[in-house]
Structure 1
Amino acid sequence: MASFKFRGNGKVQITITHGTKFDGTPKRFYREVPYTTDRQLQIDAALFLADVVNGVASISCSSTIDTLFESFIKEHTVDVGLKGATSGRYEQLYNNQIAKYFSSRQINKITRSNVREWVKHISNHGHAKTGGPLKPKTVKNALSLLSSMFNYAIFDLEIIDKNPCEKIRIPKSDVPAKSDKDFYSEQELISLFLLLLEKRKDPRSITHATVIFLILFTGMRTGEVMGLRWEDVNFEENKLYIYEERIYVANVGILTDSPKTPHSIREISFPAFLGDMLKDLKAHQQHYQELLGEEYQNTGFVAVIDAGTPQHPRNTYKWFKRFLKANNLKDTTVHDLRHTHVAILSRLGIKIIDASKRLGHANTRITQETYEYLFNDIDDDISNELDTYYKKIMEPANL
């Protein structure tokens, strides 16, 4: 379907509606042509429609941000090899933060002032669910995505000359930064460990409780634990090989891919007590495999339901929230347990460079910016220290 909008400069904007976007809304393509006659305009519209259908329609400087984003994602997925998980994150970020403000705005009419106002708005009111302030990191990611889209329009499409996102400062957020007091104290950790150990005795909770222990004592991301397979667990050397993640992206679904950066593909050691927990979990799964016989689906993942298929990546998060509330424990998130792991490492005197490698950060700068206040310069073996730490704080419980 084609529609026309007559400009005051002797040109007509042709709009073609064809197909749907990732969120179910119609796809619209735009092209400006000189106006001569109505007949020629219909011919131009027919040629434009053919380009759209054949996937060769190009965008112009007067196209909208929606059109630019679709072209950006398509180009980077097909030609640059953008990972499915990253593409999903981009789409979610675009939907939640960029589209609401810029969706139908023309590329060539967005100014630095517009971008500055947008950054200020999402910093204070950008939270998708609450309408409250966003964390500076999320604002930074949204601005980075928008800037990448404009750079694509400049250097790849050559339809504009300037990037309005340059030299935009992110305002200070009202969202408080994490500090040492936000993490569980040793006494709170003892209570958490004891309750988790009790939950591990329940066949319905053994998987979730073990996942929580894995994150607490390895610093793995939740998606990395969900992507972990038994073949990646070396019980003889107490090592894990991390090269895959399973994550859930809203409006996209569950994605299985390599971790977010090449540095996230890594080998890390785990403390001995965690190896015992993993062996218990594997025995639990083998019991159900024998019980269900051919009905059991042996997918090889560490985190599975009783039938053998992988856990939904969000299941442990929901279980953990219910667990905390039921036991009147300090509210936190599964991802914050990764931060708690870093806090434990800092208490043990582990160097920040070693913690960075363990976390799978691309460089130590990321770790330093987030956790530098936690660390000092004492060097020790991480896994042995974690094992000693666990036994030390659990000693009062006579376990």
Structure 2
Amino acid sequence: MATFRKRKNGSYEIKVSCGYGVDGRQHNQYKSYYPEPGMTPKQIEKEVNRQAILFEEECKRGQITSAIKFETFAEQWLEEYAKVNLRATSYSKMIQVTKRIYPALGHKRLDKITSRDIQKFIIGLLVDEKNLNNGKPLSRKTAVHHLNFISDVFSYAVRMGMLSDNPCRRVVVPKTEGTEKEIYTLDEVKKLFSNLSNEPLNYQMYLTLAIYSGFRRSEMLGLEWKDIDFDYNTIKIRRTSQYTAEKGIYTDTTKTKKSQRISKFPETVMELLKSFQQEQSKEAERLGSKWEDHDRLFTKWNGAPMHPQTPYKWLRDYCDRIDIPFRGLHTLRHLHASLLIYEGMDVVAVSADMGHSVVGTTLNLYSHMFQEARARNCEAITNALRFTNEAATEENKSTAAEATSSDEDEDE
């Protein structure tokens, strides 16, 4: 509710109560009103009441917060909500994006940040900012991560009754050229496999399994030997292996419940797994007490869980050695999905195989691939029914020949 009082200088202070902040204290918004010269006391009273109502409505539309700075409130959100509710890896990513967000928006009051301010920041990321590791322009996905952080902070402020509107809902991350992820071509995959026998067996196993399974990197590194069923040629995903600078390498649950799944594999993959298991057992026996038994498939030299960056670095160097473009590690998962789609598997089956929580995720990621597959289906039907066209053509030719013969008979 709005109230007002007259100051000694003749102006009026209008106050609107804005509820309570995360610090437990009541917060108010203030506005000053200066009457126009020559106004009568009755006119002033009427106008002050009108200004008070307008100011209260303005507060309800989204400006009902204290003068807290964005960085201060974001740090409170990280401590009160993110640290408690998010996975350690997600929390770590949130901390990373603050390095660019705080210098741009951190000093501004939460209630003074507009949709336009955030939109300009997002555009600036795509136009002006560079990747700190390789100097390349930031990807659209990175810009989305930054916007998600800002939006989460504002959403928390809305839930706490400090704001009534999240300005991020009007912000758009523009599409950039070349955002479609390139995957390895079949010729490149053939080259990957043809040179693989010269590589250590653990990396042979990793690459083979990654392509045949489509497992996420964290799922691959979380695999344990008890997840392998050699009788039925199946592998079960039950856990993931994660890493943050604070916690180091640790075991976590899968991304979603549907990520826990069982996949069946051909005999060639299972035979390679058996050879890999035998080699690992011999190495464990050789190292004796130095070997750490974690039952993991992919390990460091001493049996400890492999660092998530290790397969990435190996594949990058391997691609360089055999002279093919390095398209990243996660694109092996996209390659697996594309092969399934091109072989005619429906979206529900692909979604289950990939461990997506909802089918919509699969459609969003691979919509263009399904469209291409449907186009090929049309061509396949056309090819399959080509005999009908050929028969029609022959019939037309025969009819034309008879007509010509009949004409000649008439001429004679």
TM-based fold match above 0.5? yes
2:97 equivalent among 93, 97, 105:
93
Counterpart Cα distance in 2 of 1:190 and 1:91: 40
Pair 1:239–1:283, CA change in 2 (3 A)? same
The aligned counterpart of 2:55 is none
Q: How far off its partner does 1:315 sit?
A: 0.6
TM-score, length-scaled by structure 1: 0.72
Counterpart Cα distance in 2 of 1:186 and 1:112: 45
The aligned counterpart of 1:192 is 192
8 A contact 1:133–1:173 mirrored in 2 = no
Counterpart Cα distance in 1 of 2:149 and 2:350: 28
8 A contact 2:130–2:137 mirrored in 1 = yes
The aligned counterpart of 1:323 is 318
8 A contact 2:88–2:244 mirrored in 1 = no
Q: How far off its partner does 1:73 sit?
A: 2.3
The aligned counterpart of 1:105 is 108
Pair 1:132–1:86, CA change in 2 (3 A)? same
Counterpart Cα distance in 2 of 1:121 and 1:104: 17
The aligned counterpart of 2:180 is 177
Unpaired runs of 5+ residues, structure 1, are 1-9, 11-28, 35-59, 200-204, 379-399
Work out whether 1:264 is the aligned partner of 2:259. Answer: yes
What CA deviation, in whole Å up to 9, does each residue of 1:246-269 have, x standing for no partner? Answer: 233467643432122333222222
Counterpart Cα distance in 1 of 2:347 and 2:130: 31
1:246 equivalent among 218, 241, 245:
241
Q: How far off its partner does 1:325 sit?
A: 0.5
Counterpart Cα distance in 1 of 2:169 and 2:117: 12
Q: Give the RMSD, CA atoms, in angstroms.
A: 2.9
8 A contact 2:129–2:137 mirrored in 1 = yes
8 A contact 1:352–1:367 mirrored in 2 = yes
Aligned length: 316
8 A contact 1:133–1:175 mirrored in 2 = no
The aligned counterpart of 1:149 is 153
Q: How far off its partner does 1:290 sit?
A: 1.1
Alignment of 1:171-320 (within 5 A): 171-178=174-181, 182-199=182-199, 205-249=200-244, 253-320=248-315
Work out whether 1:159 is the aligned partner of 2:162. Answer: yes
Q: How far off its partner does 1:321 sit?
A: 0.7
Q: How far off its partner does 1:190 sit?
A: 1.5
TM-score, length-scaled by structure 2: 0.70
Counterpart Cα distance in 2 of 1:126 and 1:252: 29
Instruction: Percent identity, please.
Output: 25
The aligned counterpart of 2:142 is 138
The aligned counterpart of 1:51 is none
The aligned counterpart of 1:76 is 81
Counterpart Cα distance in 1 of 2:101 and 2:259: 28
> Aligned partner of 2:67: which letter?
S
Pair 1:33–1:342, CA change in 2 (3 A)? closer
Pair 1:83–1:356, CA change in 2 (3 A)? same
Unpaired runs of 5+ residues, structure 2, are 1-12, 14-22, 29-64, 376-412
2:125 equivalent among 122, 126, 130:
122
> Aligned partner of 1:197: which letter?
S
Q: How far off its partner does 1:33 sit?
A: 10
Greater share of helix: 2
